[in-house]
Amino acid sequence: MGQVTVRVNGYGHTIGCKDGEERHVLELVQQIEEKVKVIRSMGGQFSESRMLLHVALLLADEGSDLREENARLRTAGGGVAAGPAPAAADPQLAQRLARIAERIETLAETVSRA
């Protein structure tokens, strides 16, 4: 069994994984650390657990958007999974980005009240 030692929000953690998955775990942790930086840039002081809750919410939100987009593409393709549409071909891109920005602003307001 493999192990990877990582740092998230300045704290070290040892993560167990299957042999050969260490690189993948490091890539996932990098995504988490990027979200930590987004949350920290919004200001406010909060505990590690609260920080990671907000990170989890951002990642879950992204996952939800991707599932919705995947379902939309499957429906548009007649049930056959199509490759991702180019961003320029998505007429709703501005609306989707605005929704994401609103969610981030809501999270920032929540964090600032904490």
- Residue 26: pLDDT above 90? yes
CA dist 25 and 16 (Å) reads 9
Residue 12 pLDDT:
92
Residue 77 pLDDT:
73
For the segment 9-23, the average pLDDT, to the nearest whole number, is 92
Residue 109 pLDDT:
62
Nearest alpha-carbon partner for 86 in 103, 71, 99, 73 = 73
In the chain, the amino acid numbered 25 is V
Residue 68 pLDDT:
92
Give the domain ranges of the chain. 2-113
Q: What is the pLDDT of residues 54-90, one digit of tens each?
A: 899 999 999 999 999 999 998 887 555 445 555 555 6
Model confidence pTM above 0.85: no
